[in-house]
Amino acid sequence: MTTAPLRVVLADDHYLLREGLRALLVDGGEVDVCAVVATAPELVEAVDRLRPDAVITDIRMPHATEGIEAAHLIRARHPGVGVVVLSQHADGSYAQALLANGTEGLAYLLKERVGDVGELMRALREVCAGRTALDTRIVDALISRRRSTRPSGLDALSERERQVLHEMARGLANSGIARTLMLSESAIEKHVSAIFAKLGHDEQPNTHRRVAAVLAYLGSPGS
C-alpha cells in the first residue's frame, strides 16, 4: 500500500529559491506541491482554497515577519495544516514569536538545512502530525536568550532535574541525556517524569509535554 504524497504550498518572495525548493521536494516523490506563491496574502488565500497538509514559508516576504504572521493566521483558520517556517537567521526571538500562540503543528528551520531533504521531510511529517520541530541552532539561540529568572514552576525542580531539562532543550533523547550525565536511562526517565509532574504537564501526550517543558525552560511566551 503506497502512502499518498503530502500536499504542500510553498511561499517565498525569491523566485529561484521557491522554484529550487519545489524541484527538491518533487524529486523526492513524497510531496505534491499544489501551489507556489510569493507573498503572505497569496499564501493564506492558497491555504483557504486548497486545504493542503502543510505549508513551507519564508519568514520574510519581503521585509519583516510576514511568514510568522501568516503562520498564526493559517493555524487559527486551519488547525490541521502544519506550518514550516524557513529563516536565514538563528535568532531565538523569531522562534519565540512563531510559538507565541502555541507550539503544535509548527516548525522553524534554518534555510541552510533545506538542502537536506531528509531534514525537511522530517519537519513536514512532524507538523502534519501536530508536533513541533525546531532547528538545533534555534534551540541553542533560545537557551542563550533565556531569562536569568526562571519562569514560575521551574523553581520546584531539583538541580539534577534542571540539568536533565537543559539537556532536553538541547534536543537530546533520554538515552543521550543518560550518556551525557553518566546516569542510567531508567534514572533519566524518573527525572523526566518528575519534571513533567512539577511543571503540570503530566496529563499531556509525551511528545507535547516534552516540548512544553522545554519551552517553559527557555522562557518562551508559548509555554
pLDDT at 153: 67
Residues in the chain: 223
The mean pLDDT value for 190-219 works out to 74
For residue 170, give every residue at least 6 positions away whose Cβ sits within 8 Å of its Cβ, in sequence order, or none.
Answer: 136, 139, 140, 143
pLDDT score, position 71: 93
pTM metric for this prediction: 0.69
The answer to which of 62-66, 83-87, 105-109 has the lowest mean pLDDT is 62-66
Q: What per-residue confidence (pLDDT) applies to 104? A: 85
Q: Which residues pair with 109 in a beta bridge?
A: 86
Domains parsed from the chain with CATH numbers: 6-141 (3.40.50.2300), 146-218 (1.10.10.10)
Segment 56-74 mean pLDDT? 86
- Cis, peptide link before residue 151, omega less than 30° from 0: no
What is the three-class DSSP state of 168? helix
- 193: number of Cβ within 10 Å: 12
DSSP bridge pairs for 33: 8
pLDDT value at position 156? 80
Strand ranges, E, within the chain: 6-11, 31-37, 54-58, 82-87, 106-110, 132-134
Which residue has cell 510568522?
A: 68
Residues 25-64 have pLDDT tens digits of: 888 788 999 999 999 999 999 999 999 999 999 988 767 7
What does DSSP assign to residue 150?
P
